[in-house]
Structure 1
């Protein structure tokens, strides 16, 4: 059969719960999840299929079908994130894959366009994803917006115990106080996920059965920090450490240091531009930084309406050109008007542009992963000096935090 006739036979439609087994098989093939991997984590095929059923019921899952066979797919999870104190509906893109015999037919490009169109209709004005290929997703309009710093601390470098008024209690990872602390933390941290039930399920899906929780309670027995961790091979592995204040951070490290005789190393990750080395007395530790999540603005007009620009006490205006490789509604000349309270509005046209961006650069800039002056200096966009200075003043300077995975 010719490639053209094959393409004519394919149909795009929603992936429903009855397609769960095919959805699962395609995921396993694309991401090369082996039976050994499943056994390591205590999963069986049936359990994975059952675990993914809520995804098919709650998410927007699109696929290409060759007659009755699912051959290409993606899923968009209904999530929310905190962007400078404003709660945005976010489309979490995941489960992206196509069988190799159907590759290079433009199928995924069409799926993404439809998924982004659906996100726009649901006012999910921003989308996050974990990239298997940064260049590929950059070409589709996504850009890096967060980092993961991995650290390794020797037992001899663990912080000395410090007196705190509270105490730590070991609990199961499903303890409700863990979710309570995380919710408060997410509302305090720019770019963080506000975890609904689906987000928690995805975050904990592949973790080992012996992972444990530890909660720091202050003197009034209010939870203000937690650890998710496991110990294996004399290594204390930290999946996540969350604390609302310095007291809770100290209390949690006291708890980790109390394992001095049991472990040789402590390994973990931080998800903000805050190297662990500066916080330790012996800061000569191993740390590595890697890009983590990417994001893209789905609808720049919707995004700007919610965005909390820094109030300047006067009205501000910027006319710019914007290019989006996939979405025509994000391409053209626009004028951003920000009133003296920091409320932004976007209008089409507006005269001669003083700046020019692509959607990738605008996304990472408005998320404050990289500052306007830096992006302009490395020629990621073109603008006159006054426009760059205005953007520096309008965009809050706070590093994004994102620790989830889906």
Structure 2
């Protein structure tokens, strides 16, 4: 065991950057100028952004590992809640397999639980590693490679404009309205908006009508050849739309790029893109048996973790469930964070979920915190978990009723990288 505390001195950040350069050589070159620039970025980030802090694990007064934590707000089923995030978890090469990452994550969970936060999230370097720590899978991402002509062509693009930092307030207002309608979306911070405009590679267009932005798209270009400068893909980094009209205008813009770009690269959690475009194939000539055409490449990434089961359940009290009244017992195992496991007596009464004091119940559900996190976030159904033997139900005759209870939950969407 060691001491975990916030990084404060320049020397501590210098050591942390060295650790990061060795842990993630693909994102940070082991060159003095690059590391100096990255160190200055981290120090400025912590000083200027109240939503970001860097912590280090010290043993015998030596920094051997570190992490970056985030303080976010998220839409949870139309309720705005606090959520913790962690990233840039890095361990010195000489101290691998010494449970340093475990200590960091334990501290991360304790930090946010102490602040009254009931949910945290991360992007895993290895999903299985963090699943063993109780994190559950979030929604998958789908990477499409679409021909511009496959996007629908609307009647006009007259309301599309380029936007810059002067339009940031209207852009943020559009995003916030969109976030209020999408379970799982994390609200952008002021520093995220600044970073969006600071990146010179970003191009931003918006649908603006009557002095109000109803949708926007952030995109870049990716060259496809070292010898032919005319071969490029358009990469959608963010696509926000409040109305069918604003979406159609953005699609019309993409359709009109047919003479300039080869493919539109779009990473999205939308499972229904094939209903939007005319051709969702990715250009491959292969077939998946029997006759299925390759479309999107699917990936797993963002993972959620409930760190206070009772507290999280109180977040769900405003949701109306269209199920009969039911008294049930929820038994949760959490081997990584034992203080979080336990038995909870719940009931659905007149369509609303609540914690009850009575000891009698009709059915018991046993589940691990990893699967519970995915279930209560709306990622997976109870019936699927039951079929996969990831949940135990004392009386399987209640399966359909319980499944209906959780089927009222929407799948989460997240556009925030951290």
Q: TM-score range by the shorter chain?
A: 0.7 to 0.9
2:183·2:411 contact (CA, 8 Å) conserved in 1?
yes
Q: Secondary structure at the match of 1:179?
A: helix
The 3 A distance-change label for structure 1 pair 355 and 257 is same
Tell me which moved more, 328-337 or 209-218: 328-337
How many pairs align? 392
Question: 1:292 matched to which residue of 2?
Answer: 301
Q: Secondary structure at the match of 2:253?
A: helix
Tell me which moved more, 324-333 or 249-258: 324-333
Question: 2:227 matched to which residue of 1?
Answer: none
- Tell me whether 1:217 sits opposite 2:214 in the alignment: no
State how 1:230-269 maps to structure 2 within 5 Å: 230-233=220-223, 234-269=232-267
2:221·2:233 contact (CA, 8 Å) conserved in 1?
yes
Task: Tell me, in whole angstroms, the C-alpha distance in 1 between the residues paired with 2:157 and 2:38.
Answer: 47
- Residue 39 of structure 1 and its aligned partner are, at CA, apart by 9.4
The 3 A distance-change label for structure 1 pair 58 and 401 is closer
Question: 1:93 matched to which residue of 2?
Answer: 86
Q: Secondary structure at the match of 2:313?
A: helix
Q: Secondary structure at the match of 1:175?
A: helix
- Which of residues 42, 55, 63 is equivalent to 1:49? 42
Task: Tell me, in whole angstroms, the C-alpha distance in 2 between the residues paired with 1:37 and 1:248.
Answer: 45
- Tell me whether 1:359 sits opposite 2:353 in the alignment: no
The 3 A distance-change label for structure 1 pair 175 and 221 is closer
- Residue 374 of structure 1 and its aligned partner are, at CA, apart by 1.1
* TM-score, normalised by the number of residues in structure 1: 0.86
Task: Tell me, in whole angstroms, the C-alpha distance in 1 between the residues paired with 2:49 and 2:92.
Answer: 19
The 3 A distance-change label for structure 1 pair 313 and 102 is closer
1:212·1:228 contact (CA, 8 Å) conserved in 2?
yes
Residue deviations 1:23-58, cap 9 Å, x none? Answer: 333333222233399999xx9335423443348854
1:367·1:400 contact (CA, 8 Å) conserved in 2?
yes
- Residue 249 of structure 1 and its aligned partner are, at CA, apart by 0.6
Q: Secondary structure at the match of 1:193?
A: coil
Task: Tell me, in whole angstroms, the C-alpha distance in 2 between the residues paired with 1:346 and 1:193.
Answer: 31
- Residue 239 of structure 1 and its aligned partner are, at CA, apart by 0.6
Q: Secondary structure at the match of 1:194?
A: coil
- Residue 221 of structure 1 and its aligned partner are, at CA, apart by 3.4
1:147·1:291 contact (CA, 8 Å) conserved in 2?
yes
* TM-score, normalised by the number of residues in structure 2: 0.84
Question: 2:167 matched to which residue of 1?
Answer: 175
- Tell me whether 1:385 sits opposite 2:385 in the alignment: no
Task: Tell me, in whole angstroms, the C-alpha distance in 2 between the residues paired with 1:367 and 1:193.
Answer: 14
Task: Tell me, in whole angstroms, the C-alpha distance in 2 between the residues paired with 1:269 and 1:185.
Answer: 18
Tell me which moved more, 326-335 or 87-96: 326-335
State how 1:320-335 maps to structure 2 within 5 Å: 320-335=330-345
- Residue 236 of structure 1 and its aligned partner are, at CA, apart by 1.0
Question: 1:110 matched to which residue of 2?
Answer: 103
The 3 A distance-change label for structure 1 pair 263 and 37 is farther
Task: Tell me, in whole angstroms, the C-alpha distance in 1 between the residues paired with 2:48 and 2:65.
Answer: 17
The 3 A distance-change label for structure 1 pair 242 and 27 is same
Task: Tell me, in whole angstroms, the C-alpha distance in 2 between the residues paired with 1:310 and 1:394.
Answer: 9
Task: Tell me, in whole angstroms, the C-alpha distance in 2 between the residues paired with 1:235 and 1:370.
Answer: 34
